[in-house]
Amino acid sequence: MTTDTTAAGRALTLLSDDEEMFQESVHDFAVERIRPHVFAMDRDATMKKELIEAFFELGIMGVEVPDKWGGAGGTFFTAVLVVEELSHVDASCGVLVDVQNTLVNNALLRWGNEDQRSKYLPMLAKNTVGAYALSETGSGSDAFALSCKAENKGDHWVLNGQKLWITNAAEAGVFIVFANANPDAGYKGITAFIVERDFPGFSVGKKEDKLGIRASSTCELIFEECRVPKQNVLGEAGKGYKIAIETLNEGRIGIGAQMIGVARGALEHTIAYTKQRKQFGRPIADFQAVQFQLAQAATELEAARLMVYNAARLKDAGKPFVKEAAMAKLFSSQVCERVTSLAVQLFGGNGYTKEYPVEKFWRDSKVGQIYEGTSNMQLQTIAKIVITEKL
């Protein structure tokens, strides 16, 4: 990799040599192994199985999983760097790895008991994709308005209902599923379960045909008298709302990493294009109007990167990070949409065609303002905190 002298780049010198080598390996992998397949995967809305296998071989599906369970034993910050490097080539690959690390693995690491971690973390680090199932038809921003129900049968639980918009569902073998075991208690009845793909009564339904991140699977989940062993309750019964909230707080930093990766990829392609594209006998990069737009985009991207990195470091340090995570997701998704839109604009007519890569970056950008908490929900979170603390 070339030397990065930006503030964000200088911050990376805080990484150990092993971590920096890990990041470079992921960068090279993304460029050499993923980039040749991006167009076809987007067109066909399918993730190449060989790439998923390679993610496991590279060690990026269990970044924070300790060595004793087959993981890389890294930090949350390292996972964020991995997601950024993948997303700067393909956001679909970025989100697959992001959900695995920041949601599924993190939930098990923090809330799983020793038996659960010993069983599932080695699978998730070695060869099993994970998914996180919270959303439903009537449960989006109102995350706890769950209609999926869980009934305690003594030695097992029975789940009934549906989930929608579940990332990684087509490939996943393990699902973290939230259902209400006591609707009369409201959100305090919500319980988290570890569901395996082959559990009786569980099936994966329709796959969504999406605008962006098309190679990433987004599917419906169906539970029809799905039998779940009693030992597969994650954490405590009735504490699922706490698991969901705290895991999503971490996951939002991962979404921020996706967004800065997408913006960075679009900007890199655009800068290269403006040096080649000529109008009035000169490269358009020579025109001050273009230079100023690129400068503004680079400045906003730098600010977004630093916000994402700061939130990740706070999380690793065990310090409060909820406000910073919400700010990072909010701002990085806004920046990503602006930068990718500028990329299409500066490519002109070419930018509006699938022959060039920037239209895909633009399509991939929009979801950052929607999933794992809409921009309005991030503003609500930020507002609640800033009005009660010193700025």
Residue with token string 């100023």 = 292
Nearest Cα residue to 100 out of 217, 4, 185, 269? 217
Q: What is the CATH number of the domain that holds 91?
A: 1.10.540.10
Q: Does 267 share its domain with 356? A: yes
> What is the reported pLDDT for 218?
98
Report how far residue 116's alpha carbon sits from residue 320's, in angstroms, rounded to the nearest whole number: 27
Nearest Cα residue to 276 out of 290, 265, 297? 290
- Mark which of 90, 111, 129 sits at the end of a domain: 129
Q: Does 91 share its domain with 204? A: no
> What is the reported pLDDT for 131?
98
Handedness of CA 283, 6, 317, 125 (dihedral sign): positive
Q: Does 256 share its domain with 370? A: yes
Tens digits of residue pLDDT in 108-130:
999 999 999 999 999 999 999 99
Asked if residue 391 belongs to a domain, the reply is no
Residue with token string 């009369």 = 184
> What is the reported pLDDT for 15?
52
Q: What is the CATH number of the domain that holds 258?
A: 1.20.140.10
Report how far residue 169's alpha carbon sits from residue 233's, in angstroms, rounded to the nearest whole number: 20
- Within 10 angstroms of residue 271's Cβ, the number of other Cβ atoms is 16
Q: Does 173 share its domain with 215? A: yes
- What total number of domains does the chain contain? 3
- Within 10 angstroms of residue 353's Cβ, the number of other Cβ atoms is 11
> What is the reported pLDDT for 14?
44
- Residue 122's domain spans which residues? 7-129
- Mark which of 81, 99, 129 sits at the end of a domain: 129
Burial code (b: 16+ CB inside 10 Å, e: under 16) for 323-339 equals bbbbbbbbbbbbbbbbb
Asked if residue 116 belongs to a domain, the reply is yes
Backbone angles phi, psi at 51, to 5 degrees: -70, -40
Q: Which two tokens stand for residue 24?
A: 């470079």
> What is the reported pLDDT for 66?
97
- Mark which of 207, 238, 269 sits at the end of a domain: 238
372 is catalytic: yes
Q: Does 319 share its domain with 308? A: yes
Q: What parts of the chain have a pLDDT lower than 50?
A: 1-14
In the set 20, 236, 372, 389, the catalytic residue is: 372
The single-letter DSSP state of residue 136 is B
Q: How far apart are the first and last CA of the chain?
A: 38
Amino acid of residue 241? Y
Q: Does 374 share its domain with 299? A: yes
Q: Does 337 share its domain with 232? A: no
> What is the reported pLDDT for 145?
85
Q: What is the CATH number of the domain that holds 182?
A: 2.40.110.10
Asked if residue 148 belongs to a domain, the reply is yes
Q: Does 86 share its domain with 154? A: no
Q: Does 322 share its domain with 357? A: yes
